[in-house]
Structure 1
Amino acid sequence: MKAQNPMSNNDSALAGTAQTLRPATVKEHTAQEIFTWLNDRGFDVELLSEENAPILGIAMDSREIQPGDLYVALPGAKVHGASFAKTAVEAGAAAILTNRAGLELCKDTSSQIGLLRTENLRGVVGPLSAEIYGSQPADGSAPTLFAVTGTNGKTTTTYMVNSIMQHLGHTTGLIGTIEILAGGASIPSKLTTPESTHVHSLISLMREQGITSMAMEVSSHALDYRRVDGVKYDVAGFTNLTQDHLDLHGTMENYCDSKAQLFTPDRTSRAVITADDQWGESMAQKAIDALGRENVVRLFTAHGNGYESLPELETFDWALTAVRRQGIGHSFEVVRGDGVRLKSSTQLPADFNVSNAALAAVMVYEAGIDSNALEAQLAETETLTPVVPGRMQLISTEPTAIVDFAHNPDALQRALEALDPAEEDGKVIVVFGATGERDQTKRPIMGEIAGRNADIVIVTDDDPHDEAPEPIRAEVEAGVQKANQDGARVQQILNIEPRSQAIARAIELAGPHDSILVAGRGHEVAQEVAGVDLELDDRVEVARSLQAQGYSVLPAYQAMVDEA
């Protein structure tokens, strides 16, 4: 039986947050029906208290409970979710699903509502969310679903996929680091990939709103914490694997294994793997082992110019070729082993954005999109030149000033390599720091990279979180000083806080032929220091400082300064 969700936010505009957005129409379930459904699929679930109140939604946070929800009470790092069972019931929960440890905590409320128990809560919640919200119906009415994972490039690639699909006539949705998009409406994101309860409700809501194609960033955290369980993507893509999140994964091998969970039969029908290095090749092999060779496409983007330099391609593998500088961007082709060619270009700066564009184009092709229509749209430069907030955002051209999210060694290296000025007397100036309470080993590495690739390095604060900022800057600066002692490019090293002053100083030191990179925070508009969010947008600070020095900024950033 279908029922109207009384708390849905289904209207022509996306409103609220990922936590409150629900489809308007859901299939009613009872605790008994959920018990039967889960056990029929091999989950070991026990029904302890049966009530006939209809279940109309699912939530993992007692603060998000809406009338008719199933409350999934999981153990947390400090407190078990079942401790908030009373709050959930008072908010209108129709049933509680918890584990043995949670049963004792919710005994005072268990007689009032349905109660189910399983020791596999994380394994159950994704598929159950898909069932409750009907996010991927068998009638084929679900949007075409794209997923992108990898260390760097996920955000830009999803925006590029969406841009291609929009030019092909689709209404698109997006779930990612920066925002959640449905058509033209946006809400900010808190996580790269939301919890599975939110993912499934959003997919179902987007289907109701006429979204026909949706792209998602899928992080290693999301895969490990099972936030995309129950989602079956049409095509999943892989960008690259470089050092990041080792505070969570420990080793690069573990990090690779975590990402590889996306390329399995229960999560995707087809995989496109950028196989430019040992980690790409490893990922491709893991995907082949799981999905079969016929469902895995390798993409080689490191070879660049000239067909003669391409690797030997199997029939359905692709390679990037004919890369040519075009303005601040590039034109390029991707060629398949059987001779199919796609010609395109992007005006997003940097070589790595050519790789991102190639991946996006191949992912859409491999989704079975009409190839003639795709070729026609890829021929237009704007198709692969979407505005991606905080990703190589060009603020001014004299000097060249760019704000980017680069916050790990590989991303910083690539961003700096893209900025070498065309004029011989041009300098590269970089402003960056390192995040607190994250992988500490990358701090001096990033410092060395900056020292090798920039003439002036200004070390400042990123998001210190609850870690003292001075030692973080010292670790980063130590890497810069080491590069300097080794005879690297850097000529001037500064350690400046707060970040706004570091940015202002970089602009003061810049001439019209110089290139300035402000790296690490990208689209973020608040800096977390000792638990306090301080208003700070690198794009606004760069534009404001440029104007203070008499330089012009692009019109969009003039408007940002005026609004700030």
Structure 2
Amino acid sequence: MVRHVISTETERTSIRQFGKNKKNRRSLGCARDDRQPYSTMLFFIKDKIRSLVPRGLIALYHRLLSLAAAFFYGFPSRRMVVFGVTGTKGKSTVCYLIARILEQAGRRVGMTTTPLMKVGPREWLNVSKITMLGRFSLQRFLRRMDGERVETAIVESSSEGLAQWRQAGISYDVAVFTNLTPEHIESHGSWEKYMAAKGRLFAALHTRRPFRKKIRGKSVSKVAVANEDDPAASYFLSFPADEYWTFGMNPTAKNPRPERHLQIQDLELSPEGSTFAIKGVRFSLHLLGRSNVMNAAAAIAAASSGGISLETAAAALRAVYGIPGRFERIEEGQDFTVIVDYAHEPASFKQLYEAVAVLPKKRIIHVFGSTGGGRDRSRRPILGELAGRNADIVIVTTDDPYDEDPAAISAAVIAGARQAGKVLGENLLDILDRREAIRAAVRLAEPGDLLLITGKGSEQRMALARGRKIPWDDREVTRSAIHSGGATVEVIGKRV
């Protein structure tokens, strides 16, 4: 029998109140507001400058700023091989796997992704909540890589960053396309504009002589890599490049160079991960789900374009047991399974549920919210419906509300879950306080259950109004909840 006590005060608190005092910051499970006064001023100044630029000159404004940043830091990308990875899902994972394969081959690697930053052997969590760093930050980071003798840089390239021309001034050599699904459409205006923004990465593979580079005396080829199973692949492969590499499960390859098409064969999924073959070489992957097999294939294709053998790639992937905040298991001696993941939109929810289908479990308890700030409002009820159909207990909470009312966001998600048959107060809970939501889920979990906590992954901040960001880590909050035994839960309604 399950009952949940909802904090009415927390439930009714709007985003405009969060962060104004210590009490409300604690209600979000955070100790302090780490936004510095100068960052607030910078945020204000940048907004003012943008407002003064005529609409027709916005693109030029962004490009000039990016080129100025590259010039200021000495165009560091010209002295490294640069991989760019774009697509809707899987970018961070593909970047991570490329890095591991290149390191297995003896390369010195640098990387900037949503969850992780890397320069040579040093790695640390990305605390900025930005997938593709701002133009000056990105060039500064590339300069740091160059200064520390990095041979290959890997840049996760988001549609927002590409739309703002942050790629200008970066000499890309390998562009990788993972997949394309409807996300961020509202911010781009249309599907076509969203795809075109992603395409700018491939357009940055300048093949003209002035843009050629030599690394260690060898000319570097411009390479396009694409998921041939995705209908949008032909668009990304239409940009000029020296070589075109493709990957996928479809046996009918359109690549005119069969040796450059990596077909996934003999795929077997299991609770431990997957095994598959590419061109006769057997791969063992510890990451769950078909989507991660595709991510691995993307990384293998990208590395293969640089002359790395399939055997080397297989050895590297065998040693990968997890990626921060990407289907990350939390093991604290509990008798139920806990997974923290970044899934925050319909396609990733579907992939998540498909991946956990092979896991032994009694019930699925899913804790999640939806992002505010006007980001794809239409997906909120869809997320609720997907969770309602696939999870036994759904707990809706706050994600990154930005300047929206968390209660309004939650209401839209709950509407979708109710449409799927969930009953509020029984197998559907509304807990705006994310820390309390996770604690309640831990308390409800029984031996053999599967607890999913999604939306933020390994992110180190929660985004509030007016650019305010508060320290947060789902994984640490979950560990704390497990050790404390979760939240007090009363009984009401039916057994769930």
Contact 1:148 1:237 in 2 (8 A): yes
Matching of residue 121 in structure 1 with residue 65 in structure 2 = no
| Partner residue, 1:274 | 227
Looking at structure 1, the residues matched to 253 and 60 of structure 2 have their Cα atoms a distance apart, in angstroms, of: 45
Matching of residue 162 in structure 1 with residue 112 in structure 2 = no
Alignment counterpart, residue 235 of structure 2, candidates 268, 277, 286? 286
Identity of aligned residues (%): 32
Contact 1:455 1:491 in 2 (8 A): no
Q: Following TM superposition, by how much is the alpha carbon of 1:463 offset from its aligned partner in structure 2, in angstroms?
A: 1.4
Looking at structure 1, the residues matched to 159 and 371 of structure 2 have their Cα atoms a distance apart, in angstroms, of: 18
Looking at structure 2, the residues matched to 481 and 451 of structure 1 have their Cα atoms a distance apart, in angstroms, of: 7
| Partner residue, 1:493 | 428
Alignment counterpart, residue 245 of structure 2, candidates 281, 297, 303? 297
Offset from partner CA, 1:213-258 (integer Å, 9 cap, x none): 2211001111111101121222111111122212211222221111
Q: Following TM superposition, by how much is the alpha carbon of 1:76 offset from its aligned partner in structure 2, in angstroms?
A: 4.7
Alignment counterpart, residue 453 of structure 1, candidates 374, 382, 390? 390
Matching of residue 541 in structure 1 with residue 477 in structure 2 = yes
Offset from partner CA, 1:499-539 (integer Å, 9 cap, x none): 11111121222222111110001112332344554443211
The structure whose RCO (Cα within 8 Å, separation 6+) is larger is 2
Contact 1:417 1:453 in 2 (8 A): no
Q: Following TM superposition, by how much is the alpha carbon of 1:415 offset from its aligned partner in structure 2, in angstroms?
A: 1.2
Offset from partner CA, 1:472-520 (integer Å, 9 cap, x none): 11100100111117xx9x9821112211111112122222211111000
Structure 1: gaps (5+ residues)? 1-60, 65-73, 83-98, 102-116, 304-309, 336-340, 551-564
CA gap 1:100/1:332 in 2 versus in 1, 3 angstroms:
closer
CA gap 1:509/1:536 in 2 versus in 1, 3 angstroms:
same
- Aligned residue pairs total 422
CA gap 1:491/1:148 in 2 versus in 1, 3 angstroms:
farther
Contact 1:343 1:379 in 2 (8 A): no
Looking at structure 2, the residues matched to 137 and 538 of structure 1 have their Cα atoms a distance apart, in angstroms, of: 34
Q: Report SS of the residue matched to 1:349.
A: coil
| Partner residue, 2:154 | 215
CA gap 1:364/1:444 in 2 versus in 1, 3 angstroms:
same
Matching of residue 348 in structure 1 with residue 348 in structure 2 = no
Q: Following TM superposition, by how much is the alpha carbon of 1:344 offset from its aligned partner in structure 2, in angstroms?
A: 1.9
Q: Following TM superposition, by how much is the alpha carbon of 1:195 offset from its aligned partner in structure 2, in angstroms?
A: 2.7
Looking at structure 1, the residues matched to 380 and 326 of structure 2 have their Cα atoms a distance apart, in angstroms, of: 21
State the TM-score, normalizing by the size of structure 1.
Answer: 0.68
Superposed, which structure 2 residues align to 1:2-401 within 5 Å?
76-79=46-49, 120-136=60-76, 142-183=79-120, 184-186=122-124, 188-264=127-203, 266=205, 269-276=222-229, 280-282=230-232, 284-291=233-240, 295-301=243-249, 310-312=251-253, 314=255, 315=258, 316-325=260-269, 327-335=271-279, 341-369=280-308, 371=309, 374-379=310-315, 381-385=317-321, 387-396=322-331, 398-401=335-338
Match of 2:48, as an amino acid? K
Matching of residue 404 in structure 1 with residue 341 in structure 2 = yes
Offset from partner CA, 1:374-424 (integer Å, 9 cap, x none): 513523554444x4221111003741110011111111121122223644x
Whichever of the two has the greater Rg, that structure is 1
Contact 1:147 1:215 in 2 (8 A): yes
Looking at structure 2, the residues matched to 491 and 162 of structure 1 have their Cα atoms a distance apart, in angstroms, of: 45
CA gap 1:518/1:215 in 2 versus in 1, 3 angstroms:
same
Contact 2:116 2:123 in 1 (8 A): no
Contact 2:367 2:453 in 1 (8 A): yes
Q: Following TM superposition, by how much is the alpha carbon of 1:353 offset from its aligned partner in structure 2, in angstroms?
A: 1.4
Q: Following TM superposition, by how much is the alpha carbon of 1:119 offset from its aligned partner in structure 2, in angstroms?
A: 9.8
Match of 1:246, as an amino acid? I
Looking at structure 1, the residues matched to 286 and 97 of structure 2 have their Cα atoms a distance apart, in angstroms, of: 12
Match of 1:430, as an amino acid? H
Offset from partner CA, 1:66-103 (integer Å, 9 cap, x none): xxxxxxxx995434699xxxxxxxxxxxxxxxx899xx
Offset from partner CA, 1:184-229 (integer Å, 9 cap, x none): 1546334211233333332233122111122110011111111011
| Partner residue, 2:379 | 442
CA gap 1:530/1:258 in 2 versus in 1, 3 angstroms:
closer
State the TM-score, normalizing by the size of structure 2.
Answer: 0.77
Looking at structure 2, the residues matched to 443 and 389 of structure 1 have their Cα atoms a distance apart, in angstroms, of: 25
Q: Following TM superposition, by how much is the alpha carbon of 1:468 offset from its aligned partner in structure 2, in angstroms?
A: 0.8
Looking at structure 2, the residues matched to 78 and 206 of structure 1 have their Cα atoms a distance apart, in angstroms, of: 32
Contact 2:267 2:275 in 1 (8 A): yes
| Partner residue, 2:215 | none
Contact 1:152 1:241 in 2 (8 A): yes
Q: Report SS of the residue matched to 1:188.
A: coil
Q: Following TM superposition, by how much is the alpha carbon of 1:136 offset from its aligned partner in structure 2, in angstroms?
A: 4.9
Looking at structure 2, the residues matched to 390 and 493 of structure 1 have their Cα atoms a distance apart, in angstroms, of: 25
Structure 2: gaps (5+ residues)? 1-39, 208-221, 487-496
What CA RMSD, in Å, does the superposition of the two structures yield over aligned residues? Answer: 3.2
Contact 2:205 2:223 in 1 (8 A): no
